[in-house]
Amino acid sequence: MRIIKMYKKFLEPFLECLGQFGRLYAPVRKNGVLTYGPIESISEAVFSDEHPLIPIKKLFHPMKFDMFRFGESGFQPDYSMVEKRVIIGVHPCEIHSLLRLDDVFMADPPDPYYSQLRHNSAILGFSCMPTENSLCTSTGTDIVEEGYDLFFIDLDQFYLVWVGSSLGHDMILCHDEFFEDEVTHEDIAKYVAWREKRNLAFKKSFAFRNMPDLMELSYNSEIWEQFGKKCLSCGQCSMVCPTCNCYDTTDVLDVSNKVSGRRERMWDSCMFVDYSLVAGGHNFRATRADRLKLWYTHKLKTFGKEYGRPSCVGCGRCVDTCPVDINVLTVSQALSAREVPK
Amino acid sequence: MAKVKDTPVQKPRIGVYGFTGCAGDQLILIHTEDEILNLFAAADIRSFVMASSNPPEGDLDVAFVEGSISTEEEREHIQEIRKRAKILVAIGNCAVSGGPQAMFANDGSFAKRLRDVYGEVKFITDPIEAAPIDAHVTVDYYLPGCPIDSQQAFALISRLLHGADPEPSLHPVCHECKLHENRCLLLDKKLCFGPLTKGGCGSACPNHGLPCVGCWGPQADGNFRQHFELLQSFGLSKEEVFRRIKNYGGHKILEFIKDI
Ligand code: SF4
Ligand code: SF4
Ligand code: SF4
Ligand code: SF4
């Protein structure tokens, strides 16, 4: 691992130069909401501690797209959304979320849409300070060791830059003169102080490591009924969660007498009533309590069983978003205290 | 892939009818210029009140019906259409729920309201309390909206053309609202009926910062009791919340709020 130093004044010209590696993407503000999108110039990018409302998954697992067109003689996949991209300003929890999504979408056989988008995208991570509901120290996702090409840690006058891949190395060569290989003792002291300050800035935490056991013990708990009474089944929690990845496919036929059309793929949520509806009209999770139990058991326990680590990356979006305060914090509190908070 | 029957030898015979309403749904169909031409090529359009006068009346494969039923004459006409049509689709909020003209549905004040507005007149055809199509005949499919959304409409129409079942729409407006990356208005204590309302409009209102007023009609899985409680915690009275959801909820909302 190579760690180098860059003074702040070089950031814009350096990033601007990365256009040669692909189309630049970054968090931008649109109608007051932070969102990942393509940018024409670095000045549009918003570098902040705030998380975009919809996580980075949307750039790899698009919300809604046509998988292929079909006709009477076969089908034609549509990969038109794949392009070379350089995604700038990605926080640690987001990088972790992509590694979790890789577990799902890159497993054999890989999802061709996701993997092509992934292989064609460079990730430029940026450090952040915790926001009101950040929980990443609880989930162990506050720092990153893999999953980026470059990672910038903001130490006021300069950045320490972690080079995480050979692509990241090539990017540095774009403006080699901006970077210094020598990291002084003083720089390291600054970094250590930053880590300490950051660790102390977290306002909230939850018993992440206890969750798999608590889930197991609480399978029949009345707590799920109580949360189920409150839940609006709006599905916002799964849309904003960076590791929720369910989708639905629909064949949209052409207005014609021929058998032709397109298969559309769109984000779905296990909080919606038809998610577990099967042929014949049986619904495995007709009640809201069962749906919530599925969501939380999957997120905090079962995913871990399958892929070695639970899928919550502590971004805090469910805490920011649920209109009736059902989120990893309130659920873990309820399971620990056996009481649903008012 | 959707199950589709072999290409029909005969083009399906289609009729489009309008009852009491603003005719906005027929307008959406006609204004979707590419698709309406495809539709005229793929189907045998027997009757389309808005597109041609003097339609021939006969047996139909599919009848699309817009508007609520609000006179005796309309009631007889819809029954006659039902007899001729193999499949009947209610299109638009008026046909599906009764429309804004049904906001006082079944409250017992119809006779008084009629007198207050029209006075003591003799009507050419007897008015009846505005009701959705399925209050009088069975409806096979519903296409909600005020007005309907052309994408949702043509997705259903193309399914029917191929003899396939239309996809039901079971998700709330919130689904599309999040896909449009809107901040939830409920977090700012605004009265939004998104979680209680059928999706399909593309979250047209929240996309502009406006709360959903429920024009796609009630979403059967909505958690009505909890959502009304939440809205009341914002300082709205129960009466106010009920009044607002009835504006578009018409007859269909009644069963969801009767025990609240
Ligand atoms: S838990 Fe909250 S955000 Fe999720 S569906 Fe229920 S009400 Fe909506
Ligand atoms: S469960 Fe909540 S905190 Fe965890 S990753 Fe999902 S949205 Fe973020
Ligand atoms: S703004 Fe309205 S439609 Fe959008 S998520 Fe919130 S409640 Fe649902
Ligand atoms: S957001 Fe609600 S009121 Fe607005 S068009 Fe959609 S269903 Fe109708």
pLDDT tens, position by position, B126-164: 899 999 999 999 999 999 999 999 999 999 999 999 999
- Cβ–Cβ under 8 Å, residues A190 and A154: no
CA distance A236 to chain B (A): 7
SS3 A31: coil
Instruction: Inform me whether the pLDDT recorded for A20 exceeds 80.
Output: yes
Q: Which two tokens stand for residue B229?
A: 């409680």
Beta strand pairing call for B69-71 and B85-91: unpaired
Q: What is the DSSP letter of B257?
A: H
**CB-based contact (8 Å) between A33 and chain B?**
yes
Mean per-residue pLDDT for B241-249? 95
Q: Residue A277: what residue type?
A: L
Residue B52 pLDDT grade (very low, low, confident, very high; cuts 50, 70, 90): low
DSSP state of A302: I
Structural tokens at position B135: 């209050």
- In A61-157, which ranges are E strands? 64-71, 74-77, 85-90, 121-126, 150-155
Write down the pTM of the prediction.
0.94
CB A211 within 8 A of CB A310: yes
Distance from CA of A55 to the nearest CA of B (A): 10
CA-nearest residue, atom 7 of ligand 3: B194
The residues facing A85 across adjacent strands are A23, A121
pLDDT at B125: 85
The confidence score (pLDDT) of residue A262 equals: 97
**pLDDT tops 90 at residue B233:** yes
DSSP of A139-204, one letter per residue?
HT-SS-SSS-SEEEEEETTEEEEEE-SHHHHHHHHTTGGGEES---HHHHHHHHHHHHHHHHT---
Going by C-alpha positions, the residue among A105, A99, A33, A25 that lies closest to residue A59 is: A25
Q: What is the pLDDT of residue B122?
A: 86
Atom of ligand 2 nearest to the CA of A314: 3
Query: How does residue B172 score in pLDDT terms, banded at 50, 70 and 90?
Result: very high
A84-93, A209-218, B40-49: which is most confident: A84-93
Please determine, for residue A226, whether its predicted confidence score (pLDDT) is greater than 80. yes
Question: What is the model's pLDDT at position B4?
Answer: 58
> What pLDDT digit, counting tens, does each position of A255-302 carry?
999 999 999 999 999 999 988 888 888 888 889 999 999 999 999 998
Q: Is A176 exposed, middle or buried (0-12, 13-18, 19+ CB in 10 A)?
A: exposed
The pLDDT confidence band at residue A337, using thresholds 50, 70 and 90, is confident
Position B6 pLDDT exceeds 60: no
Residue B50 confidence class, pLDDT cut points 50, 70, 90: low
| Phi, then psi, of A67 in degrees rounded to 5 | -75, -45
Verify whether the Cβ–Cβ distance B223 to A233 is below 8 Å: yes
Q: What is the mean pLDDT of residues A11-16?
A: 96
The CA distance from A72 to B138, in Å, is 35
CA of B213 to the centre of ligand 4 (A): 6
Question: What are the two backbone dihedrals, phi and then psi, of residue B197, each rounded to the nearest 5 degrees?
Answer: -115, 140
The protein residue whose alpha carbon is closest to atom 1 in ligand 2 is A312
CA distances from B92 to A194, A213, B48, B133 (A): 59, 50, 16, 11
Rounded distance between C-alpha atoms, residue B25 and residue B19, angstroms: 11
Across residues B211-229, what is the average pLDDT? 96
Long-range contacts (CB closer than 8 Å, 24 or more residues apart) made by A320-325: A320/A51, A320/A132, A320/A133, A320/A240, A321/A236, A321/A237, A321/A240, A321/B184, A321/B187, A322/A236, A322/A237, A323/A232, A323/A234, A323/A236, A323/B184, A323/B186, A323/B187, A323/B230, A324/A230, A324/A231, A324/A232, A324/B226, A324/B230, A325/A230
Confidence of residue A152 (pLDDT cuts 50, 70, 90): very high
Is B180 in the A-facing interface, judged by CB distances under 8 Å? no
B8 vs B241, which has greater pLDDT?
Answer: B241
Alpha carbon distance, N-terminus to C-terminus of chain B: 42
Any ligand 4 atom below 6 A from CB of B185: no
Sign of CA dihedral A82, A84, A86, A91: positive
State whether A235 and B1 contact (CB < 8 Å).
no
**Quick check: A109 contacting B, CB < 8 Å?**
no
Percentage of chain A with pLDDT > 90? Answer: 88
Nearest chain A residue to B166 by CA distance is A252
Q: What is the pLDDT of residue B54?
A: 61
Residue A294: what pLDDT?
93
B71: closest CA of chain A, how far (Å):
34
Which pLDDT does position A281 carry in this prediction? 82
Interface TM-score (ipTM) > 0.85: yes
Percentage of chain B beyond pLDDT 90 is 76
d(CA B173, CA B202): 7
Q: How many CB atoms lie within 10 A of CB A72?
A: 8
Q: Is A81 helix (H, G, I), strand (E, B) or coil?
A: coil
d(CA A259, CA B6): 8
Q: Average of pLDDT values for A56-64?
A: 98
